[in-house]
Structure 1
Amino acid sequence: MERSSLEFKLPDTHEEGKLYVVDSLNNLNKLNVCPAESQHEEDNTGGTGESMAGSHASNQRLFLVTFVLTLTVSLALVSFVIFLIFQTRNEVDQISSRLLSEKKNIEELKKLNNIILKHLNQSRIKEKNSAYS
């Protein structure tokens, strides 16, 4: 005789535990072997199958709403980050252009300073020469 995949060798347990395990195996066997009978039992118990299907559909709707909401929030955050990147780049460009113009101004001031120092040195040399004469 073939041995069913649901038959187990039960370990030594108390009688109540054995009865519970056997009952559980019988219920599992009924679900696997006789799905039509379990459907009739669900119909007789007051439509628990319908409530389970309704809760399953409700869970799917809840998952879908949560998923769409998460995607929307993620899209908003990514858009905000891209906006901040562009703003930062614009600010860095403005600061760079200011620094370049300030660098040019500083170089011009150095040139003017050198011209003034040369002129002062030449005028002092002339004053010293006129004082010796």
Structure 2
Amino acid sequence: MEKPPLEFNLPDTHEEGKLYVVDSLNNLNKLNVCPAESQRSLDQEENTGGTGESTGGSNTRNQHLFFGIFILTLVVSLALVSFVIFLIFQTRNEVDQISSRLLFEKKNIEELKKLNNIILKHLNQSRIKEKPSDLRAYHFTHAELKVPGE
């Protein structure tokens, strides 16, 4: 489906005219052969005068795009790191609160054990003073008060 290249007989003209006609024919041939996407690059080349400045402009645009994406990536990374640090501090505070509660409860349990021991000693001593024969009937332990036969 390609079209045959265009051929023209060039009349005798000056050298500059020949170059202009050949350049125009090349551009016309490119339009016939190249897809529509290439038309944009050809238009850019025509706008810059064909001096190669279009690659410099697109190169600068690519550099700006890269720089913008790089800055955006840095900002997102900084936000994520800040969020992680915030979560670490929050978690540390929660762990500190839980550990202080556990220590407080441990102290309460130890005090309750001491009170239980004191009560058991007092009960054992009071039973001994009341009736020595009741010692066989009642036996007190740290865990609970037991009566044999019940």
Closer, same or farther: CA 54–127 of 1 in aligned 2, 3 Å: same
How far apart, in 2, do the equivalents of 1:87 and 1:47 lie?
62
Given the two structures, how large is their TM-score scaled by the length of structure 1? 0.60
Partner residue of 1:86 out of 67, 89, 94: 89
Instruction: For 2:94 and 2:133, locate their aligned partners in 1 and report how far apart those are by CA, in whole Å.
Output: 58
Structure 1, gaps ≥5 residues long: 1-41
Task: Report the identity percentage.
Answer: 82
Equivalent-residue separation in structure 1 for 2:79 and 2:70 (angstroms): 14
Displacement of 1:78 in angstroms is: 0.8
Q: What displacement does 1:128 show?
A: 3.2
Larger RCO, structure (CA 8 Å, separation 6 or more)? 2
Q: Which structure: greater helix fraction?
A: 1
SS, match of residue 99 in structure 1? helix
Which of 105-114 and 46-55 deviates more? 46-55
Per the alignment, residue 111 of structure 2 pairs with 108
The Cα of 1:89 is off from its aligned counterpart by 1.1
TM-score scaled to structure 2, two decimals?
0.53
Detail structure 1 runs of 4+ shifted over 6 Å in the superposition. Answer: none
Q: Distance in 2 between matches of 1:98 and 1:131?
A: 43
Q: 1:123 to 1:85 in 2, by over 3 A?
A: same
RMSD: 2.5
**Structure 2: stretches of 5+ with no match in the other structure:** 1-44, 136-150
Total equivalences in the alignment: 90
Distance in 2 separating the partners of 1:60 and 1:124 = 95
Establish whether residue 96 from structure 1 lines up as the match of residue 103 from structure 2: no
User: Which residue matches 1:49?
Assistant: 52
Q: Which has the larger radius of gyration?
A: 2
